[in-house]
Amino acid sequence: MADRVLVMSEGRIAGELPREQANEQAVLKVALRPESAPSPSLAA
């Protein structure tokens, strides 16, 4: 088991989800989000 899931899209990390939120719908939402939208968990 993992504590978090890193979602990749087009060879890049598109976002990160905690295990509790990592379902099919959430993963697809992160993976298919437009490139201009930064990932909240990775933006610092």
Between the two ends of the chain, the Cα-to-Cα distance in Å is 27
7 pLDDT higher than 90: yes
Q: Is 15 exposed, middle or buried (0-12, 13-18, 19+ CB in 10 A)?
A: buried
Tokens of 3: 């504590």
Spell out the residues 6+ positions from residue 42 whose beta carbon is closer than 8 angstroms to its own.
Answer: 13, 15, 16
Per-residue confidence (pLDDT) for residue 2, from 0 to 100: 86
Per-residue confidence (pLDDT) for residue 43, from 0 to 100: 54
Question: What would the pLDDT profile of 10-38 be if each residue is shown by its tens digit?
Answer: 999 999 999 999 999 999 999 998 765 55
